[in-house]
Amino acid sequence: MTPRWSTASIRVQLTGWYTVVLCLMLVVYATATFVAVRHEFLEQFDDQLHDDFETAEGFLAPTPDGRIVWSGDRHHDPDNDEDRGSDVWAAHGEPIYRSGASAALPPVALAATTSQPRYESLVADGRRWRTLTGTSLVGGRAVVLRVSRSEERLRQQLWEVLVVLAFGLPLVVVLAGVGGYVLARRALTPIDHLASEARRITADRLHERLSVPNQHDEIGRLAAVINNTFARLESSFDQLRRFTADASHELRTPLSVIRGIGEAGLGETRTPAEYKEAMGSMLEEVDRLANLVDTLLRLSHGDAGTVRLSREGVDLGQLTRDVVSSLGILAEERNQRLAIDVADGVLVKADRLVLREAITNVVDNAIKYSPQGSTIHIRVHSNNGQAILTVVDEGTGIAPEHRERIFDRFFRLDEARSRDNGGTGLGLAIARWAVEVNGGQITVDSGATGGSIFRIALPTGDAAATPHREHATQPKGGHT
Amino acid sequence: MRVLVVEDERKLAQVLESALQAEHYDVVVAPTGEDGFFRANAEVFDLVVLDLMLPGRNGLEILQTLRQRHIDTPVLILTARDGVDDRVLGLDLGADDYLVKPFALPELLARIRALLRRGRPSEVFRLKAADLEMDLVARRATRGDRLLDLTAREFELLEYLLRHQGHLVSREMLAREVWKEPRRATPLDNVIDVQMTRLRKKVDAEAGERLIHTIRGVGFVLREGEP
């Protein structure tokens, strides 16, 4: 199971991460602060002890009889009695003075005493003490002096600092979290807005676009990208819609002819010859239907990229001659002349049958749409690593606005005429697919004399030897 | 000649039955895979037309069992799927030929004739129909006393029609057998029509009897007498 965390909204995730990071930073900061403060406090405490030591030294005075006495009654403020103490011993261990507060502390081990003052922490009667022990010379005689302070007050202060830090930190974190959440929400609200707008745009309303408040910020750029996607989606939906409408129209026409002939034939008794005629007519339509379905199926195989190609070195010139000799009879019927100008040895790496289909369809198209008695020029040459086949006719040409669509499925410049020719409206669509699947390009242009120039450019044999995607055809814009 | 047709679709089975009977075959129709399986194993046929998609028992299964029992009756499979795999599998399992639905009847009949003729020598050097004669060795064709001036393509076309004389020949068959194009296309259909018109002019013009007939929606037939 994926943790809930990853399913939370970006807003919550942002706030969460922000809070965690802030929390960690604060903990580090608080710890460092506390350590520094504690160190400073302890240092000051030891300094105070040192001051106490010097003060206490001043209270010791030698008497004329050679003894040493403590004369520091002023030092012992009754209020401080509890917290501060001073003890003095003679060098041989006899106590000279012991204050009330430090009575509970054990006597100094004289053996360990050195001339260097020594700090020490002690526990007595459940209280913590800090002591400074050292030797001092009073009137030429050595004494051991120890001053002590209770640590309880210091510890109390440190504790208070800790409490402030410990309780303040979560409070700050919570406040920062809330603030972060509010900020994140404000930053992300436009995205929610975009999402709800985008959700509104369904297949039926693809012409709508997202509003772009400021096209230069991140949200604006995102909206522009989404709008761009919608535009492309709309155009392919349009193509699909047009294709579906065209395809159903093309399929429905033969169907209604068949139905009509059948119904008319059953209407009244006719002669056997008439029945035969009717059936033949029906079969012609069935043939057209079957042909259409077959071609559509092949194109859709092409779109799906499931067509297997067997590529080999193909002599484009030879292939073109084959096609022309096969179709030449159609041109002869129309008193057209097919003028061939083919360079030798123009090799392409292509699937021979598929490429042949492309050339057949383009040449057939030229024959169909050129006037009687005209000449169609077919030329094959190589140029800049490309094999080029051009078919130039003397027809009426194609208006610039139709040039892109001429390769679309079912696109016809002249409805009635091309159907009478027995065309399916798919010839050039097949040609385009067949050229592109072989790594080439097919374009149409207007010639100087007004006719059309169809141009097929294919990579030549050597260039095409570099790896190509073998059986993949990516439907281009015009395909749906 | 006994032909077993294993086809579950009633209308198609009827069409096949009447078409085969019209060609004077003795036809038995098995409407289910089970029935087909049983009959193919129990009776003797000269040929089996086998649909691959059958309820009950799959066509491929029937074919496999037949071949395992060393029954070598020629089998022609019908498949609705245009998938290469199905065909290859069928041929691997021992089918002799295949047709993809929808197919043209003349095509099916031609395939059946070819399968039944197989194994017998069919080398012919002269073909004849009425007063039309072809000498395949000398590459000469005559109609009565008249020598026909035919192009290479026209000669091949006429030869194909004569070899199938009396039988319908579809454009698909011509595209494949005479033009050697694996795929039928509209431009080629037009080419075939034009070529056929020219051939007919050369063969039938100036002659009393028409031999080459166009059957609308189906194809062509070379036949003496009315089609």
Q: A331-350 pLDDT, tens per residue?
A: 999 999 999 999 988 999 99
B82 vs A contacts (CB less than 8 Å): 297
Is the peptide bond prior to B102 cis by the omega test (within 30 degrees of 0)? yes
Q: Which residues of A152-167 are buried (b: 16+ CB within 10 A; e: fewer)?
A: eebeeebeeeeeebee
Burial class for B72, CB neighbours closer than 10 Å (0-12, 13-18, 19+) = exposed
pLDDT at residue A472, as a whole number:
42
Distance CA A398, CA A389 (A): 19
- In what helix (H) or strand (E) does residue A248 lie, and over which residues does it extend? helix A218-267
Tokens of residue A258, six digits: 């068949």
- Which among A37, A42, A36, A35 has a CA at the least distance from the CA of A128? A42
From chain B residues 95-134, the ones with a CB under 8 A of any chain A CB are: 102
Judged by CB atoms closer than 8 Å, whether chains meet at A287 and B82 is answered as no
Domain boundaries, chain A: 12-158, 218-303, 310-465
Distance CA B26, CA A310 (A): 44
- What DSSP string describes A389-432? EEEE--S----HHHHTGGGSTT--SSHHHHHHTT--S-HHHHHH
B217 vs A contacts (CB less than 8 Å): 279-287
Task: Tell whether ipTM is more than 0.85.
Answer: no
Judged by CB atoms closer than 8 Å, whether chains meet at A330 and B189 is answered as no
More confidently predicted of A92 and B49: B49
Beta bridge partners of A137: A142
Judged by CB atoms closer than 8 Å, whether chains meet at B186 and A277 is answered as no
Of the candidate ranges A204-213, A284-293, B43-52, the one whose mean pLDDT is the lowest: A204-213
- Which among A183, A82, A181 has a CA at the least distance from the CA of A124? A82
Give me the phi and psi of A391, to 5 degrees please: -125, 110
Burial class for B171, CB neighbours closer than 10 Å (0-12, 13-18, 19+) = buried
Beta bridge partners of B220: B169, B214
Give CA torsion, residues A256, A260, A261, A266, to 10 deg.
Answer: 140
pLDDT at residue A475, as a whole number:
41
A281 vs B contacts (CB less than 8 Å): 216-217
Distance CA B58, CA B32 (A): 10
Q: Per-residue pLDDT for A363 more than 90?
A: yes
pLDDT at residue A113, as a whole number:
66
Judged by CB atoms closer than 8 Å, whether chains meet at B179 and A361 is answered as no
CB A377 within 8 A of CB A344: no
Residues contacting residue A126 through CB under 8 Å, at least 6 positions apart = none
Tokens of residue A257, six digits: 């002819």
Task: Report in angstroms the alpha-carbon separations of A295 from A128, A421, B171.
Answer: 101, 17, 17
Q: In this predicted model, what pLDDT tens digit does every residue of A386-430 receive, in sequence order?
A: 999 999 998 888 888 888 788 888 887 765 555 555 567 888 888
Is the domain A310-465 a CATH 3.90.1150.10 member? no
Nearest to A330 among B179, B190, B218 (CB): B190
Burial class for B75, CB neighbours closer than 10 Å (0-12, 13-18, 19+) = buried
pLDDT at residue A400, as a whole number:
83
CB A289 within 8 A of CB A251: yes
Is residue A480 classed as helix, strand or coil in its secondary structure?
coil
Give residue A193's pLDDT band: very low, low, confident or very high (50, 70, 90).
confident
CATH class given for the domain over A12-158: alpha beta
Nearest to B186 among A276, A282, A291 (CB): A291
A291 vs B contacts (CB less than 8 Å): 184, 186
B107 vs A contacts (CB less than 8 Å): none
The residue of chain A nearest to residue B196, with distances taken between CA atoms, is A329
Read off the pLDDT of each residue in A315-336 and give the average, rounded to a whole number: 92
More confidently predicted of A63 and B183: A63
Q: In this predicted model, what pLDDT tens digit does every residue of A7-19 receive, in sequence order?
A: 677 888 888 898 9
Judged by CB atoms closer than 8 Å, whether chains meet at B186 and A422 is answered as yes
Q: In this predicted model, what pLDDT tens digit does every residue of A235-259 receive, in sequence order?
A: 888 888 888 888 888 888 889 989 9
pLDDT at residue A454, as a whole number:
94
Q: Per-residue pLDDT for A80 more than 90?
A: no
The residue of chain B nearest to residue A283, with distances taken between CA atoms, is B217
Of the candidate ranges A55-64, A73-82, A119-128, the one whose mean pLDDT is the lowest: A73-82
Q: Per-residue pLDDT for A151 more than 70?
A: yes
pLDDT at residue A185, as a whole number:
86
Distance CA B101, CA B80 (A): 5
pLDDT at residue A139, as a whole number:
78
> Which CATH architecture describes the domain A218-303?
Orthogonal Bundle (1.10)
Dihedral sign (CA A84, A90, A93, A95): negative
B199 vs A contacts (CB less than 8 Å): none
Question: What percent of chain A shows pLDDT beyond 70?
Answer: 89
Nearest to B191 among A330, A424, A427 (CB): A330
CB atoms within 10 A of CB A104: 15
B189 in A contact zone (CB under 8 Å): yes
Tell me the nearest-neighbour CA distance from A17 into chain B, angstroms.
Answer: 56
B183 vs A contacts (CB less than 8 Å): 353, 357
Distance CA B134, CA B158 (A): 9
Domains of chain B and any CATH numbers: 2-117 (3.40.50.2300), 126-222 (1.10.10.10)
Distance CA B99, CA B103 (A): 7
Question: What percent of chain A shows pLDDT beyond 90?
Answer: 23
Q: Which residues of A379-397 are buried (b: 16+ CB within 10 A; e: fewer)?
A: bbebeeebbbbbbbbbbeb
Task: Give the position of tokens 């501060």.
Answer: A84
Distance CA A436, CA A302 (A): 10
The residue of chain B nearest to residue A426, with distances taken between CA atoms, is B186
Distance CA A238, CA A17 (A): 45
Distance CA A326, CA B1 (A): 40
More confidently predicted of A51 and A304: A51
- The stretches in chain B having pLDDT less than 50 are none
